[in-house]
């Protein structure tokens, strides 16, 4: 019997997968959120549908970003160094028309038109209506914290180094709120494609439970 167990596995069980933070998530894993100020994710059960990996200069190497399904729209979950007391980063992608509902076009465009100016500020429009899907993801004002070249990949960099060909370069800009609880992340790729994300920073204990896929 010992021979068959050693060859075919028998009744031996694989060691359980231990998920302790968003850094440990893999495709297919699930989690349950606690109640939060963001109705989109509050008390929701989310599943990792795919993952992206970032190298943001010396700030965040091999940053794991999990794209979560289960809410009314896709949510990007990761950890961040922006706010050490609120390291859980929850982001949603927004289209240009939504960006210009929130911020004045000229003020937002200045971030790109004057790339050497690190004093840019964004202020939310005073007359903007309540956008339910964005509730809890938008601050009143932001300042520019980072602007540099960064890299993104679909290959997992956690267990082995990736080749240069695995990474796609882009211009990275991060606008952070004064209380460091929110941010706007901007990614500009060759050809002009620009991705904009609204970010909320939460405590890690806002994740109630993890389940391996």
In three-state form (DSSP H/G/I as H, E/B as E, the rest C), the secondary structure along 132-185 is: HHHCCCCCCEEEEEEEEEEEEECCCCCCCCCCHHHCEEEEEEEEEECCCCEEEE
**Domain assignment of residue 37, yes or no:** yes
**Domain assignment of residue 114, yes or no:** yes
Least confident of 6-10, 28-32, 37-41, 204-208: 6-10
The residues facing 182 across adjacent strands are 200
Q: Measured in Å, how far apart are the chain's first and last C-alpha atoms?
A: 31
Q: Is the pLDDT of residue 118 over 90?
A: no
Structure tokens at 21: 């933070």
Give pLDDT tens digits for 81-104. 999 999 999 999 999 999 999 999
Q: Are 141 and 121 in contact (CB under 8 A)?
A: yes
The residues facing 207 across adjacent strands are 33
The pLDDT value given to residue 133: 79
**Domain assignment of residue 145, yes or no:** yes
**Domain assignment of residue 2, yes or no:** no
**Domain assignment of residue 139, yes or no:** yes
Give pLDDT tens digits for 126-146. 766 667 779 999 999 999 998
**Domain assignment of residue 9, yes or no:** no
The residues facing 89 across adjacent strands are 78, 201
**Domain assignment of residue 3, yes or no:** no
pTM of the model: 0.89
For residue 159, the 8-state DSSP code is S
Q: Structural domain tally of the chain?
A: 1
CB atoms < 10 A from the CB of 99, how many?
17
**Domain assignment of residue 66, yes or no:** yes
Q: Are 76 and 88 in contact (CB under 8 A)?
A: no
- Percentages (nearest 5) of helix, strand, coil residues in the chain: 15, 40, 45
* 60 confidence band (pLDDT: 50, 70, 90): confident
Q: Is the pLDDT of residue 5 over 60?
A: no
Domain coverage including residue 65: 16-211
Structure tokens at 206: 């806002």
Structure tokens at 176: 């952070």
């Amino acid at each position: 019997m010992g021979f068959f167990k050693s060859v075919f596995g028998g009744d031996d069980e694989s060691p359980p997968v231990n998920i302790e933070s968003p850094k440990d998530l893999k495709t297919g894993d699930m989690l349950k959120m606690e109640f939060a100020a963001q109705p989109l994710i509050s008390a929701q059960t989310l599943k990792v549908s795919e993952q992206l990996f970032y190298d943001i200069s010396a700030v965040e190497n091999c940053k794991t970003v999990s794209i979560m399904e289960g809410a009314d729209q896709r949510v990007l979950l990761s950890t961040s160094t922006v706010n050490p007391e609120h390291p859980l980063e929850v982001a949603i992608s927004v289209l240009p028309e939504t960006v210009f509902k929130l911020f004045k076009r000229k003020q937002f465009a200045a971030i790109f038109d004057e790339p050497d100016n690190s004093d840019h500020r964004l202020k939310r429009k005073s007359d903007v209506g309540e956008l339910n899907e964005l509730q809890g993801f938008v601050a009143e004002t932001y300042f520019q914290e980072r602007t540099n070249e960064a890299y993104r990949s679909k290959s997992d960099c956690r267990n082995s180094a990736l080749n240069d060909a695995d990474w796609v370069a882009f211009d990275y800009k991060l606008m952070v709120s004064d209380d460091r609880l929110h941010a706007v992340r901007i990614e500009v790729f060759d050809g002009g494609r620009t991705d904009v994300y609204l970010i909320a920073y939460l405590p890690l204990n806002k994740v109630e439970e993890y389940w391996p896929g």
